[in-house]
Amino acid sequence: MNIKKISKVITTSLALSLVLSACSDNKASTDEKKDSADKGKKVELIYARGKDDTNATQKMVAAFEKKYPNIDVKFREMPADTGKQHNAYVTAFNAKSDEIDVFDMDVVWPAEFAQAGYVMPLDRFIQKDGIDLDEYNQGALSASKFKGKQWALPKFIDAGMLFYRTDLVKNPPKTWDDLLKQAKEDKGKGGTKFGYLMQAKQYEGLVCNTVEFIASYGGEIINDKGEVVVDSPEAIKGLKKLVEVATSDVVPKNVTTFAEPEGHTAFINGQSAFIRNWPYQFALANDKSQSKIVGKVGVAPLPAGDKGPAAALGGWQAGINKNTDVPKEAWLFLKFMAGEEGQKMDAINGGHAPTINKLFDDPDVQKANPYFKEEGFVNALKSAVSRPVAPNYTEISDIIQIQVSKAIAKEITPEQAAKNMQKEISSKMEK
């Protein structure tokens, strides 16, 4: 006999409607569900995610419902702003709402949501169904692992990459020292004003750049045991190289005001030989309506330090609300969406880079996303490392931003920045 999930009025409104429904009479709702279960009606499942400007979600849901005709999936659109989306989830889940069953999470949320008891661990489902986690990008997978358990599955991935002018650069640099050398040589050629562009403004993008430099020299900020380890020789070496690059004459003098928009605008206007950015940069640089460098862009992994190249992980994960009353059906949907079939549809219709590695070799996926064939693109994704996994990530990020900004401004040394981060992050982790 099927279970019927009765939802409240499905809206595309935001946190307020979510909170109001969470505060409704739970007993009445439960009674309705029991009555519906007795009638043997179909299960209704609520899936929440941010705004989707493509038809990828709609097509994926339709394919799932065709495969599982006893389950109706209703899409609840959340705020496009990730901060507002995060707050809406927190408000609802704090109230122990069962209104949402499956939902998308930014890559830095799983640890926080796991610690707060918002999400259901997936290990028993994964083991029971024999899901091969080795098929996934391991950096993306690690971002949803906390205290030895898997709390989400990665849906798609973003990672920091090196984009370069192919008319100026014959072979992309392999190391950070190579980058500085080539950027200095290419600065001023082909109409360029700069050699290298990065995100050095005091915001989350600076954290991503910091993670990449530190990891490329074998360092970490927080290790997989939850220990703060940023005050190490390896991490300090990475910080020194970051400061060296950010204060060199190959970057704009006002590089500390550069976030993604400032950088990508300068790059597509032909002002730099190199830029560190996310995968969207490739399509943007080949957009004839706004780019001056169409057909002249290559992509490669970011330069290596002593350990090798490292790319800060971005992207989205999917998890199950701990208070869902349809865990079996929620898992079936999550498994489909984050599995090979769902990710293939999202790659083709939504343009997202899959987290299941073999999909990059799929002819249909490559046809829809020609740059997925680029060896440099795939290799860059394989070098992805997660940002610090912590339940209070926002506080950790703020500390990193402040200390690294001070180091770039030469107010403190990289060694002092590492010591300050070690002390302050440790203090936050102990709470």
* DSSP class per residue in 119-131: B---HHHHHHHT-
Residues 6 or more apart whose CB falls under 8 angstroms from that of 171 comprise none
Q: Which residues lie across from 104 on neighbouring strands?
A: 318
Based on the fold, state whether residues 46 and 117 are members of the same structural domain.
yes
Based on the fold, state whether residues 332 and 407 are members of the same structural domain.
no
- Both tokens of 219, joined, read 């360092």
pLDDT of residue 34: 35
Write the Ramachandran bin of 169: left for phi over 0, alpha for psi from -120 to 50, otherwise beta.
beta
Based on the fold, state whether residues 337 and 386 are members of the same structural domain.
no
Please give the residue range of the domain that contains residue 23: 15-157+314-373
pLDDT of residue 431: 67
Based on the fold, state whether residues 279 and 383 are members of the same structural domain.
yes
Total domains in the fold of the chain: 2
C-alpha 68: how far from chain center:
29
Pairing label, strands 43-49, 297-300: unpaired
Q: Which of 357, 373, 389 is the last residue in one of the domains?
A: 373
* Number of other residues whose CB lies within 10 A of the CB of residue 135: 14
pLDDT of residue 402: 98
Q: Which of 352, 373, 394 is the last residue in one of the domains?
A: 373
Q: What is the DSSP string of 219-277?
A: --SB-TTS-B--SSHHHHHHHHHHHHHHTSTTS-TTGGG--HHHHHHHHHTT-EEEEEE
Distance from the first to the final alpha carbon of the chain: 47
Domain assignment of residue 9, yes or no: no
Please give the chain's pLDDT, 431 residues, in tens. Answer: 444 344 433 333 334 344 434 434 443 344 444 333 334 579 999 999 988 877 789 999 999 999 999 999 999 999 877 888 999 999 999 999 999 999 999 999 999 999 999 999 999 999 999 999 999 999 899 889 999 999 999 999 989 999 999 999 999 999 999 999 999 999 999 999 999 999 999 999 999 999 999 999 999 999 988 899 999 999 999 999 999 999 999 999 999 999 999 999 999 999 999 999 998 888 889 889 999 999 999 999 999 999 999 999 889 999 999 999 999 999 999 999 999 999 999 999 888 899 999 999 999 999 988 889 888 888 888 888 989 988 999 899 999 999 999 999 999 999 999 999 999 999 998 76
Based on the fold, state whether residues 92 and 68 are members of the same structural domain.
yes
Based on the fold, state whether residues 104 and 125 are members of the same structural domain.
yes
Domain assignment of residue 6, yes or no: no
Q: Which of 373, 399, 421 is the last residue in one of the domains?
A: 373
Based on the fold, state whether residues 297 and 232 are members of the same structural domain.
yes
pLDDT of residue 53: 72
Domain assignment of residue 334, yes or no: yes
Based on the fold, state whether residues 387 and 359 are members of the same structural domain.
no
Query: Residue 218: which CATH number?
Result: 3.40.190.10
Domain assignment of residue 37, yes or no: yes
**Cα-based distances in Å from 48 to 4, 96, 143, 331, 400:** 19, 16, 20, 14, 31
Residue 389 to residue 111: CA distance in whole angstroms: 6
Nearest-CA neighbor of 84 among 110, 50, 116, 114? 50
Based on the fold, state whether residues 299 and 332 are members of the same structural domain.
no
Based on the fold, state whether residues 174 and 267 are members of the same structural domain.
yes
Treating both helix axes as pointing N-terminal to C-terminal, what angle do 82-94 and 15-22 enclose, rounded to 10 degrees?
Answer: 10
Domain assignment of residue 249, yes or no: yes
Residue 414 to residue 398: CA distance in whole angstroms: 17
Based on the fold, state whether residues 303 and 386 are members of the same structural domain.
yes
Based on the fold, state whether residues 218 and 338 are members of the same structural domain.
no
Residue 390 to residue 399: CA distance in whole angstroms: 13
Residue 364 to residue 372: CA distance in whole angstroms: 11
* Helical H segments across 130-229, by residue range: 138-142, 176-186, 204-216
Domain assignment of residue 175, yes or no: yes
Residues 6 or more apart whose CB falls under 8 angstroms from that of 157 comprise 137, 139, 140, 313, 314, 315, 352, 353, 354, 355, 381, 384
